[in-house]
Amino acid sequence: MSHKAGFVSIIGKPNAGKSTLMNALVGEKMSIITPKAQTTRHRILGIVNTDDYQVVFSDTPGIIKPHYALHESMMHQVEGSIVDADLILLVTDINEEYDEQDVLKKLEKSEAPLAVLINKIDLSNEEEVRTKAAYWQEKLNPKAVFAISALHDHNIKGIFDFVLENLPVHPPYYEKDALTDRNDRFFASEMIRAQVFKQYKKEIPYSTEVIVTAFKEDPKIYRISAEIIVERDSQKNIIIGNKGEMLKIVGTYARREMEEFFQRKIFLEMFVKVIPDWRSKKNYLKKFGYE
């Protein structure tokens, strides 16, 4: 039998459930899942391997109109993943008001086969699902329309089978033991960032970047240092909290997640640093890994 391999891009608006879907398909907690929109800032690859195939799933930032240089970088990553794709999975939320113009515009650049995934059907009814499916069938004439609940694992196997059917014959793109193109540092910083999203309100999480400055692997323990970057002194005070209490909470939860993820004891130290308006400064964005 010939080996199949290809890039499958998961795209859609913020909060449609792309990361939850990706995690269900890959079976690992690869993309951060938090209830706030706009938490995925980088394109993250999740790789599923067997002897016969290699599926490279790509979870992309939600499609929005850019307001900062940071957003522009995020949208370039979406465009890149559409151009690279052998197959596109468009995730839409059943409760969205057909407001996907930005997404459809980006899809025009692609020749790849497309499936529309109507997500969160657990929050809906059969008639609504049928109406939506008919709408997308007419609008985009996709190869398939799936009604799914990524959260409840409903119809995930159906999508996976569809993906395998439509993958091109190709040798593997990555080593067969690779799960992702991201390294451990990246996941450590994402776990801290997930806690920043969970523990703080309003604009704080969106003004924050997390940089892992040291990652030392001893057999029994990983020693990790990280900087939490914010834009203003007032934000720094909020992040640290009264007598350092908030930072301690973030550290405790992030450390627990890391210990589970890396299966090691973790020593974690964190510092908070102010870089005014980093989101609008190209040189900092580049340094933080946004192209």
Residue 209: CATH number of its domain: 3.30.300.20
113 with 148, same domain?
A: yes
Collapsing DSSP to helix, strand or coil, 30 comes out as coil
Residue 33: its pLDDT value, please? 44
Residue 38: its pLDDT value, please? 47
86 with 145, same domain?
A: yes
34 with 102, same domain?
A: yes
> HSE of 14 in the Cβ direction (CA atoms, 13 Å)?
14
Query: Is 27 annotated as contributing to ligand binding?
Result: no
Query: Is 176 annotated as contributing to ligand binding?
Result: no
Residue 36: its pLDDT value, please? 44
Determine, yes or no, domain membership for 145: yes
Q: What are phi and psi of 119, to 5 degrees?
A: -100, 165
138, 166, 194 — which closes off a domain?
166
Determine, yes or no, domain membership for 206: yes
Query: Is 92 annotated as contributing to ligand binding?
Result: no
Supply the DSSP symbol for 167: P
Query: Is 113 annotated as contributing to ligand binding?
Result: no
Query: Contact 26/107 with Cβ under 8 angstroms?
Result: no
86 with 192, same domain?
A: no
Determine, yes or no, domain membership for 20: yes
125 with 54, same domain?
A: yes
Q: Measuring CA to CA, how many Å separate 180 from each of 58, 110, 151, 183, 238?
A: 10, 24, 22, 8, 34
Total number of domains constituting the chain: 2
Determine, yes or no, domain membership for 177: no
Predicted TM-score (pTM) of this structure: 0.60
Q: Measuring CA to CA, how many Å separate 274 from each of 176, 247, 268?
A: 41, 15, 20
State how far Cα 74 lies from the chain centre.
Answer: 11
Q: CA angle at residue 186 from 235 to 233, to 5 degrees?
A: 10
45 with 158, same domain?
A: yes
Query: Contact 172/139 with Cβ under 8 angstroms?
Result: no
155 with 196, same domain?
A: no
Query: Is 17 annotated as contributing to ligand binding?
Result: yes
Query: Is 16 annotated as contributing to ligand binding?
Result: yes
Query: Contact 102/16 with Cβ under 8 angstroms?
Result: no
d(CA 8, CA 152): 21
Query: Is 205 annotated as contributing to ligand binding?
Result: no
State both tokens at 37: 């929109």
Element (H, E) at 262: helix 245-262
139 with 188, same domain?
A: no
Q: CA angle at residue 86 from 82 to 92, to 5 degrees?
A: 55
Query: Is 121 annotated as contributing to ligand binding?
Result: yes
Determine, yes or no, domain membership for 179: no
CA-based torsion, 175, 177, 182, 183: positive or negative: negative
Domain region containing 112: 4-166
Tokens 């703080």, residue located: 200
Query: Is 119 annotated as contributing to ligand binding?
Result: yes
166, 197, 222 — which closes off a domain?
166
135 with 219, same domain?
A: no
> Tens-of-pLDDT digits for all 291 residues of the chain?
689 988 888 888 777 777 778 778 877 555 444 444 444 545 556 778 888 888 888 766 655 555 656 566 666 666 666 767 889 888 888 877 656 677 777 777 778 888 998 888 788 788 888 888 898 888 888 899 998 887 787 888 899 899 999 999 988 877 776 656 566 787 888 889 888 888 887 778 778 888 888 889 888 899 999 999 988 899 999 999 999 999 999 999 999 988 887 778 999 999 999 988 887 777 777 777 665
Collapsing DSSP to helix, strand or coil, 179 comes out as coil
d(CA 55, CA 256): 30
Residue 98: its pLDDT value, please? 56
Query: Is 244 annotated as contributing to ligand binding?
Result: no
Collapsing DSSP to helix, strand or coil, 41 comes out as coil
Query: Is 63 annotated as contributing to ligand binding?
Result: yes
157 with 215, same domain?
A: no
Query: Contact 4/171 with Cβ under 8 angstroms?
Result: no
195 with 257, same domain?
A: yes
Determine, yes or no, domain membership for 175: no
CA-based torsion, 202, 208, 210, 213: positive or negative: negative
Name residue 32's amino acid: I
Query: Is 14 annotated as contributing to ligand binding?
Result: yes
State both tokens at 8: 């499958």
Residue 127: its pLDDT value, please? 87
